[in-house]
A and B are shown apart, each in its own frame.
Chain A
């Protein structure tokens, strides 16, 4: 019976180690990718808003080349600050699970007005109005695509908030399970077994981090656009660093617990009078 209890205790110890590893990973995601303030800070630190503004202006300029119109028609159609506001709104919508509508009415109005003014100035007449409308819609789409990353994250938006909620529930469940396991282990194996769990978890984290990061060249990753990729790179490297830090903390805790319990035993010797 005693051996059976010990065996169960060891199995629970292994499960606790794995769950502690998963808990640490979820916690790191919780304070990074699932944290809106963290993401906004990363965008700010990597000049994401300025890069997107440059990219939108460049793409609008490119679209101009085949239109035959002058670049002056793009003057003042939007303010640089509008892009930052829209991106922040879009990011907020990801975390709340709502839909953010990029308001392009004023942009469209100003662009149409600029085109009319330009044509009037040059004494030209737009014979193909439908084509012109399609061009204006194209410019508006460039603005929208710059904000919502070409629509690639539409699928993520609807599920991101749910994933974040489930992560919270899962973290709570894991914590409870680990506590129950440690209580059982304490009774059936040894009262100071938690040091083993911490040490195993620390090494598992280090291995898992190496396994994933060894396979992908994160420093050169490019997804959708350069500016977006720069932020992704920084976030992923930061997540990896945080995992290492937490695993080091767990390692130190495990050493303290193991040292405390197994290395030294203080024996009091009464000196007889």
Chain B
């Protein structure tokens, strides 16, 4: 008895084509049905939870519109804060969670960026090496933010001690550019129920 092999390519091609048809329908359903939802959540994750990789995300500032067109990754360093009077020169990070504040000064993500013409709120621990010495600052002292998209000069016009729950001390507004630094107050043992706040307005036009 001989065995003869017969090629039935048509059936094979039909099955493969049918599989690809199913996959195409699947892709269409995913794309039109779930794409928006999936992209929304991946964008949230990318905005909040991705730290700057070695190939840094390019930070871009639109000079004409006075607006950031590409913001730093949350948790990434994007500049330094310098205050000559108290020999302060610290890294500035985007975000202000506990981990970030242990590395340097944190920029509250709900506030504006320097140059955008609104409130810029920065926080730091009141420990040596952080914001301990801002308590020595007074009116007319200068603050410089040296960022990877430009340099911004500020001059202090007020310092205040406020309650930790006083949100009116940290207004988020876009009428004028205001730099607000704060740290826990007073120094010493225990939980701090107050905040020492420094207010500064932008001076001059620096490059951005």
- A262 touching B3, Cβ below 8 Å: no
Segment at the interface with B among A100-108, A175-183, A213-221: A213-221
Give the contact-size bracket for chain B.
35 or more
- A217 touching B98, Cβ below 8 Å: no
- B18 touching A66, Cβ below 8 Å: no
- A262 touching B12, Cβ below 8 Å: yes
A58 on the B face (CB < 8 A): yes
Segment at the interface with B among A45-53, A80-88, A155-163, A194-202: A194-202
- B22 touching A264, Cβ below 8 Å: no
Q: Given known contacts A216-B42, A264-B7, is B191 in contact with A138 (CB within 8 Å)?
A: yes
- The chain B residue with its CB closest to the CB of A135 is B190
- The chain B residue with its CB closest to the CB of A199 is B19
**Chain A residues within 8 Å of B26, by CB:** 14, 17-18, 21, 200, 204, 207
Q: Once the chains are docked, how many angstroms separate the CA of A267 from the CA of B189?
A: 92
- A62 touching B102, Cβ below 8 Å: yes
**Chain B residues within 8 Å of A261, by CB:** 11
B201 on the A face (CB < 8 A): no
**Chain B residues within 8 Å of A262, by CB:** 8-9, 11-12, 14-15
- B5 touching A264, Cβ below 8 Å: yes
Q: For window 116-149 of chain B, which residues contact chain A by CB distance below 8 Å?
A: 125-128
B157 on the A face (CB < 8 A): no
A208 on the B face (CB < 8 A): yes
B190 contacts which of A67, A224, A229, A268 (Cβ < 8 Å)? A67
B184 contacts which of A66, A211, A265 (Cβ < 8 Å)? A66
Segment at the interface with A among B48-56, B77-85, B105-113, B160-168: B48-56
Q: For window 62-86 of chain A, which residues contact chain B by CB distance below 8 Å?
A: 62, 65-69
Q: Once the chains are docked, how many angstroms separate the CA of A258 from the CA of B190?
A: 73
B86 on the A face (CB < 8 A): no
Give min CB distance, B28 to chain A, whole Å.
11
B125 contacts which of A66, A196, A204, A269 (Cβ < 8 Å)? A66
Q: Given known contacts A66-B188, A264-B8, is B19 in contact with A217 (CB within 8 Å)?
A: no
- B187 touching A66, Cβ below 8 Å: yes
B75 on the A face (CB < 8 A): yes
B1 on the A face (CB < 8 A): yes
Q: Once the chains are docked, how many angstroms separate the CA of A262 from the CA of B18?
A: 14
Give the contact-size bracket for chain A.
35 or more
**Chain A residues within 8 Å of B99, by CB:** 224-226
**Chain A residues within 8 Å of B184, by CB:** 66
Q: Once the chains are docked, how many angstroms separate the CA of A259 from the CA of B13?
A: 11
Q: For window 1-39 of chain B, which residues contact chain A by CB distance below 8 Å?
A: 1-9, 11-12, 14-16, 18-20, 22-23, 25-27, 30, 38-39
A121 on the B face (CB < 8 A): no
**Chain B residues within 8 Å of A264, by CB:** 5-8
**Chain B residues within 8 Å of A14, by CB:** 22, 25-26
- B23 touching A200, Cβ below 8 Å: yes
- B126 touching A66, Cβ below 8 Å: yes
B23 contacts which of A203, A222, A258, A268 (Cβ < 8 Å)? A203
- B19 touching A220, Cβ below 8 Å: no
- B127 touching A65, Cβ below 8 Å: yes
- B39 touching A134, Cβ below 8 Å: no
Q: Once the chains are docked, how many angstroms separate the CA of A18 from the CA of B24?
A: 12
**Chain A residues within 8 Å of B20, by CB:** 203
20 residue pairs bridging A and B, Cβ less than 8 Å apart: A17-B26, A66-B127, A66-B187, A66-B189, A131-B188, A131-B191, A135-B190, A196-B19, A199-B19, A200-B23, A212-B42, A216-B45, A217-B50, A225-B99, A254-B19, A261-B11, A262-B11, A269-B1, A269-B4, A271-B2
Residues in A lying within 8 Å of B, measured CB to CB: 10, 13-14, 17-18, 21, 58-59, 62, 65-69, 128, 130-132, 134-135, 137-138, 150, 195-196, 199-200, 203-204, 207-208, 211-212, 215-217, 219-226, 229, 254, 258-259, 261-271
User: What are the 10 tightest A-B residue pairs by CB atom distance, in nearest-first order?
Assistant: A131-B190, A262-B11, A215-B42, A65-B127, A134-B191, A200-B22, A199-B19, A222-B51, A262-B12, A200-B19
